[in-house]
């Protein structure tokens, strides 16, 4: 059963079903065509804070931060922005596993005219906990050369900047024609390394988030929404 509470802040959705009814993922403020890139949306994009019924441990709590409908609208806008920037040129997307896999899949399906190819890299800095270890290790490298290509590094979340700073240094050595970053989520307050994404979906507060590819100890990646995960005190 869904329990909704009033949200203090900006309302992204005009109205939602009454309390105790399922959350509507399709209602929202439609985006109007715009020739200028739209800035990253600020938290909170939803008009209710909803506790959601998923398989979770009794001492862990999930609260919706960004609904799937808002995610899909924003990803469509990001795809249009990339197409405007490259005007039909080939774009090579590199997804950072595992977190970016769902974001990359939805992003690439929204391209209409740009010639797109993909590859993947796998790195680790979190392990099984909530805090980054500060050390980035490369587990999977690219399958093909990126020399001379327009490369966009696709990441689920820009947090401390350690992972993206490391990957950018590695990729620049391989002489791409251009290198940009697309991050679905951005947590500016957590930054350690100075890294700026060229395409950002949402700027969010300093909360630990899961869902839509993001995990905690390899769980919760399957959630359709981005949710705040609250754990008991250690």
Q: Indicate the length of the chain as a whole number.
A: 234
Q: Which two tokens stand for residue 45?
A: 């994009």
Residues β-bridged to residue 214? 211
Catalytic residue (choose from 159, 186, 215, 225): 159
Task: Kindly report each contact of residues 31-40 with a partner whose C-beta sits within 8 Å and lies 24 or more positions away, as own/partner.
Answer: 31/73, 31/76, 31/77, 37/81, 37/84, 38/77, 38/81, 39/200, 40/186, 40/200, 40/201, 40/202, 40/203
- Whole-angstrom distance, CA of residue 125 vs CA of residue 67: 27
- Whole-angstrom distance, CA of residue 231 vs CA of residue 23: 23
Count other Cβ atoms within 10 Å, centred on residue 154: 24
Tell me whether residue 141 is one of the annotated catalytic residues: no
What distance separates the 2 farthest-apart alpha carbons in the chain? 55
From the number of C-beta atoms within 10 Å of its C-beta (0-12, 13-18, 19+), residue 47 rates as: buried
Q: What are the distances in angstroms from CA 97 to CA 21, 30, 33, 148, 228? A: 35, 31, 32, 23, 21
Enumerate the H helices of the chain as residue ranges: 68-86, 101-109, 162-172
| Residues classed as catalytic | 159
């Amino acid at each position: 059963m869904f329990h909704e509470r009033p949200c203090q802040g900006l309302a992204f959705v005009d109205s939602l079903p009454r309390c105790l009814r399922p959350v509507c993922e399709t209602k929202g403020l439609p985006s109007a065509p715009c020739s200028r890139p739209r800035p990253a949306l600020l938290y909170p994009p939803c008009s209710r804070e909803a506790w959601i019924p998923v398989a979770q441990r009794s001492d862990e709590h999930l609260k919706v931060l960004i609904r799937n409908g808002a995610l899909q609208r924003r990803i469509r806008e990001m795809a249009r922005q990339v197409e405007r920037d490259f005007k039909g040129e080939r774009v090579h997307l590199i997804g950072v596993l595992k977190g970016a896999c769902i974001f990359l899949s939805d992003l690439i399906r929204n391209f209409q005219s740009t010639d797109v190819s993909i590859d993947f890299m796998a790195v680790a800095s979190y392990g099984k906990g909530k805090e980054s270890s500060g050390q980035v290790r490369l587990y999977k490298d690219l399958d093909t050369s990126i020399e001379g290509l327009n490369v966009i590094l696709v990441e689920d979340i820009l947090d401390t900047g350690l992972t993206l700073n490391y990957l950018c240094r590695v990729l620049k050595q391989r002489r791409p024609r251009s290198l940009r970053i697309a991050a679905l989520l951005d947590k500016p307050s957590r930054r350690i390394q100075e890294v700026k994404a060229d395409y950002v979906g949402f700027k969010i507060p300093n909360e630990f988030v899961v869902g839509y590819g993001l995990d905690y100890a390899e769980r919760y990646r399957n959630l359709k929404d981005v949710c705040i995960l609250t754990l008991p005190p250690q």
